[in-house]
Amino acid sequence: SSFQSITSSRTQTHHPSTSLFSAVEKDADTIKAEEARARALAKKNAAPGSSQLTSTNKQQPPPEWKFFDTARVHVTAGSGGNGCVAFRREKGEAMGGPSGGRGGSGGNVYFLADRSLNTLAGLRSKIHVRADSGKNGIGKGKDGVKGDDVYVRVPCGTIVRELHSQKVAGELRKDGETLIVAKAGRGGRGNAAFMTHRRTAPKFSERGEPGAERWLSVELRLVADVGFLGMPNAGKSTLLSVASAAKPKIANYPFTTITPNLGVCDLGEDSSGLVLCDIPGLIEGASQGTGLGFSFLRHVQRCKVLLHVVDGTSNDPVGDFNILNNELKAYDDMLGKKPQVVVLNKVDVPEVREKQDELLEQLREAAGHSRVMTISAATTANVQELMSRLKKFVEAEKEKNKEELGGLEEDILLAEVDFSKAALDSDSDDYEITSDPAYPGQWRVKGPYIEQVAKMTHWEYPEAVERFGRQLQALGIADELIARGALEGDLVMIDEYDFDFSPGKTNPYIPQELLDKDAMFVEQRAQNGQSPRGMLLDSKDEDEEIPWTPFKKGGYMLMDKDEIVEFNEDGEWDLLDDDFDLSGEFMDGDDLWTS
Ligand SMILES: Nc1nc2c(ncn2[C@@H]2O[C@H](COP(=O)(O)OP(=O)(O)OP(=O)(O)O)[C@@H](O)[C@H]2O)c(=O)[nH]1
Ligand SMILES: [Mg+2]
């Protein structure tokens, strides 16, 4: 069960009809249809002689323009190799001492932050990441070879969670940072390790420990490269929708967009994507709070570049352009100075086309630079050209900033909340629900933990909203609200976030092709007699306990609970206690090999 987000900011309580969540719900279908179309198009384009760039159907975005922000991955670390039972046989020593070597440990699975990436696109084609197992130990005391570690490259700002419990495993912030997500099984000890003065010829060895295995949900907190700026109705959301797979609400009235929308324009294999942020329209007086105000601009504050979208059908496009630039300066001088690219939109309209040359000239003059071009978001004319120019410009700006900041870029780019340090380990699950009889149907929930979780939730994403709902459920807040008489559709306020109370509804968006792969995976596991748990949260068997120990401590994979104990601080692992008496029985799970 989950809460629906209607807004991520207090300012929007006045627009209860514009439910972000219901918009998203609708969009999931649209996106699916879009994907089916994209796949069909991809097939068509794969035909010899055709090229995606010269696709004649201008209405459809090229299939590679997709939106990635979350992914689900199953990771399996390598198992340890088995220990060996062997005895020395040397000249003059027919039956020497035990000499079976230890199995090699398996490979770990790590996530590795790579600054050259900026989407999770690479994870999309993968459902499984698997590290090699260690080799078995061999005779003459030789240990087995260790399995290779696997590094999964992800962009900086990636947050990793255990899927089913939604516990944060960590965040990768800086280039080169790694996070272990599945710890390898250690190799089993060979019989040489079990020799004591009482047992001089042990004929058993240990089996290798299985590698850890788990589902992860991965989320990238996108930091936009390009923030869209423009008067209401200029066509910003339309542009986002054709340049990326994001599906913002588009309508022919001002202030259609009330929360920022993010989208990724994927520019193909050899280039990382361009992250776009469509923000609500700004009008004269915005810096004083007119219209929706400037509160959304914090989203674009960290953008490298602003794309100023000018409505060609306006009575005075150049006047609009100047007004907004003045508002921007009045609000924040830094924003006013942010480099802009300017587009004159709606040139498909004949009246606009007629005066486009004149307008372009005037815009160049007003802007004081020549990064000005015409587009039609509606017909997508010039949009691809715009995106590749933007990409180059953004790259150049990043380079410039990097030099100016002496390599401090990531710190400045990354979002405010540091997940790796965030208070998810807060001890207090306490909360308090208050309601004012004067305002029926409104509930305020207070509590350090839940407020922290709310702050850390990326309200733009259904999966994040769903997770928030799960946390409320887990903390008992949802049930408590129902017990107190909350009804579906009531307003719930936590910190500065407001929600529609809507128990029992979840809407994770997962692309169809991943769902197909998952279905295969679940089936395969069931056939192999393994737990069929898949990537879908509702495929979870409610009775099944999910053991959890923090990632950092290791040992979180409690597949065979009795056999596996936690890794200690040094990553070492001990099956046998120091004072374990080998003269008695074998340990359960020890492998007895007869030589
Ligand atoms: N003819 C024409 N119409 C366009 C074009 N781009 C957008 N529109 C229309 O302009 C209207 C407003 O488009 P939106 O994309 O919602 O504008 P917006 O800038 O996001 O508006 P707000 O969210 O209110 O700030 C819609 O009716 C679009 O169909 C274009 O290139 N040509
Ligand atoms: Mg809009």
Q: What confidence tens digit (pLDDT) does each residue in 503-546 have?
A: 654 333 455 666 677 778 778 878 877 766 666 655 444 444 44
Nearest CA to ligand 1 atom 13: 235
Residue 349: other Cβ atoms inside 10 A: 14
For the entire predicted model, the pTM comes to: 0.49
Whether 68 has a pLDDT exceeding 50, the answer reads no
Whether 339 is in the pocket of ligand 1, judged by its Cβ within 6 Å, is no
d(C-alpha 226, C-alpha 389), whole Å:
12
Residue at token pair 């674009």: 300
Kindly give the pairing relationship between strand 70-76 and strand 213-220.
antiparallel
- Of 36 and 289, the structure prediction assigns the larger pLDDT to 289
Q: Do residues 129 and 109 make contact, with C-beta atoms less than 8 angstroms apart? A: yes
Nearest CA to ligand 1 atom 30: 346
In a domain, 426, yes or no: no
The token pair that represents 407 in the structure block: 């390599």
User: Average pLDDT, stretch 569-583?
Assistant: 39
Whether 204 has a pLDDT exceeding 50, the answer reads yes
Residues with CB under 5 A from ligand 2 (ion): 237, 256-257
Whether 234 is in the pocket of ligand 1, judged by its Cβ within 6 Å, is yes
Q: Which of 18, 238, 308 gets mutated to test ligand 1 (max ligand atoms within 8 A of its CB)?
A: 238
Whether 534 and 582 share a structural domain:
yes
The CATH number that applies at residue 334 is 3.40.50.300
* The domain boundary residue, chosen from 373, 396, 413: 413
Q: Do residues 497 and 8 make contact, with C-beta atoms less than 8 angstroms apart? A: yes
For 372, phi then psi, to 5°, come to -130, 130
Whether 271 and 240 share a structural domain:
yes
Atom number in ligand 1 closest to CA 254: 24
The number of the ligand nearest the C-alpha atom of 314 reads 1
* The domain boundary residue, chosen from 367, 391, 413: 413
How many angstroms from the chain centroid is the CA of residue 102? 39
Whether 207 and 227 share a structural domain:
no
Whether 397 and 253 share a structural domain:
yes
How far, in Å, from the CA of 346 to the mean position of ligand 1?
8
Whether 297 and 376 share a structural domain:
yes
Q: Which of 12, 18, 229, 237 gets mutated to test ligand 1 (max ligand atoms within 8 A of its CB)?
A: 237
User: Average pLDDT, stretch 267-272?
Assistant: 66
How far, in Å, from the CA of 265 to the mean position of ligand 1?
19
In a domain, 269, yes or no: yes
Q: Which of 12, 231, 233 gets mutated to test ligand 1 (max ligand atoms within 8 A of its CB)?
A: 233
DSSP H or E run through 192: none
User: Average pLDDT, stretch 545-573?
Assistant: 36
Residue at token pair 């260690």: 134
In a domain, 314, yes or no: yes
- Nearest partner of 341 among 364, 314, 315, 311, judged by Cα: 364
d(C-alpha 360, C-alpha 362), whole Å:
5
How far, in Å, from the CA of 257 to the mean position of ligand 1?
11
Whether 348 is in the pocket of ligand 1, judged by its Cβ within 6 Å, is yes
> What is the count of structural domains for the chain?
2
How far, in Å, from the CA of 378 to the mean position of ligand 1?
8
- Of 309 and 545, the structure prediction assigns the larger pLDDT to 309
Whether 254 is in the pocket of ligand 1, judged by its Cβ within 6 Å, is yes
In a domain, 188, yes or no: yes
Q: Quote the domain boundaries for residue 273.
A: 223-413
Residue at token pair 């300017």: 342
Q: Quick one: pLDDT band at residue 146, thresholds 50, 70, 90?
A: very high
Q: Quick one: pLDDT band at residue 289, thresholds 50, 70, 90?
A: low
Nearest CA to ligand 1 atom 7: 235
Nearest CA to ligand 1 atom 14: 235
How far, in Å, from the CA of 383 to the mean position of ligand 1?
14
So what's the pLDDT on residue 512?
Answer: 61
The number of the ligand nearest the C-alpha atom of 241 reads 1
Nearest CA to ligand 1 atom 10: 235
pLDDT single digits (tens) 346-389: 999 999 999 999 999 999 999 999 999 999 999 999 998 999 89
Whether 45 has a pLDDT exceeding 60, the answer reads no
The CATH number that applies at residue 79 is 2.70.210.12
Nearest CA to ligand 1 atom 2: 346
Atom number in ligand 1 closest to CA 309: 19
What's the whole-number average pLDDT of the chain?
69
DSSP H or E run through 498: strand 497-500
Whether 246 and 380 share a structural domain:
yes
Whether 185 and 251 share a structural domain:
no
The token pair that represents 139 in the structure block: 């005779």
Q: Which of 133-142, 436-445, 548-557 has the lowest mean pLDDT?
A: 548-557
User: For residue 119, which amino acid is it?
Assistant: T
Whether 378 is in the pocket of ligand 1, judged by its Cβ within 6 Å, is yes
User: Average pLDDT, stretch 481-508?
Assistant: 74
Burial of 440 (0-12, 13-18, 19+ CB in 10 A): exposed
Query: Which of 222-231, 404-413, 420-429 reaches the highest mean pLDDT?
Result: 222-231
Whether 409 and 318 share a structural domain:
yes
How far, in Å, from the CA of 252 to the mean position of ligand 2?
9
Whether 407 has a pLDDT exceeding 70, the answer reads no
Question: Quick one: three-class SS letters along 257-322?
Answer: CCCCEEEEECCCCCCCCEEEEECCCCCCCHHHCCCCCCCCHHHHHCCCEEEEEEECCCCCHHHHHH
Whether 270 and 409 share a structural domain:
yes
* The domain boundary residue, chosen from 389, 413, 437: 413
Whether 248 is in the pocket of ligand 1, judged by its Cβ within 6 Å, is no
How far, in Å, from the CA of 570 to the mean position of ligand 1?
58
Whether 87 and 140 share a structural domain:
yes
In a domain, 23, yes or no: no
In a domain, 272, yes or no: yes
Whether 22 has a pLDDT exceeding 60, the answer reads no
In a domain, 499, yes or no: no
In a domain, 488, yes or no: no
Atom number in ligand 1 closest to CA 234: 19
In which order are the strands placed within the sheet that holds 109-113? 150-154, 109-113, 178-182
Q: Is the ipTM of this complex over 0.90?
A: yes
d(C-alpha 1, C-alpha 476), whole Å:
11
User: Average pLDDT, stretch 9-36?
Assistant: 36
Q: Which of 256, 356, 376 gets mutated to test ligand 1 (max ligand atoms within 8 A of its CB)?
A: 256
The token pair that represents 377 in the structure block: 């978001």
Residue at token pair 């596996």: 564
d(C-alpha 281, C-alpha 18), whole Å:
15
So what's the pLDDT on residue 192?
Answer: 83
Q: Do residues 486 and 471 make contact, with C-beta atoms less than 8 angstroms apart? A: no
Kindly give the pairing relationship between strand 432-434 and strand 372-374.
unpaired
Nearest CA to ligand 1 atom 12: 233
So what's the pLDDT on residue 424?
Answer: 35
The CA-based angle 32-121-386, given to 5 degrees, is: 85
How far, in Å, from the CA of 423 to the mean position of ligand 2?
35
User: For residue 287, which amino acid is it?
Assistant: S
- Of 454 and 33, the structure prediction assigns the larger pLDDT to 454
Whether 384 and 526 share a structural domain:
no
Residue at token pair 């900026």: 118
Whether 280 is in the pocket of ligand 1, judged by its Cβ within 6 Å, is yes
Whether 208 and 296 share a structural domain:
no
Q: Percent of the chain scored above 90 by pLDDT?
A: 17
Residue at token pair 């179309």: 37
Kindly give the pairing relationship between strand 591-592 and strand 204-205.
antiparallel
Q: Which of 250, 313, 345, 356 gets mutated to test ligand 1 (max ligand atoms within 8 A of its CB)?
A: 250
So what's the pLDDT on residue 165?
Answer: 67
How far, in Å, from the CA of 159 to the mean position of ligand 2?
28
Residue 452: other Cβ atoms inside 10 A: 17
Q: Do residues 74 and 535 make contact, with C-beta atoms less than 8 angstroms apart? A: yes
Whether 251 is in the pocket of ligand 1, judged by its Cβ within 6 Å, is yes
Query: Which of 153-167, 413-427, 549-563 reaches the highest mean pLDDT?
Result: 153-167
DSSP H or E run through 329: helix 317-331
So what's the pLDDT on residue 188?
Answer: 83
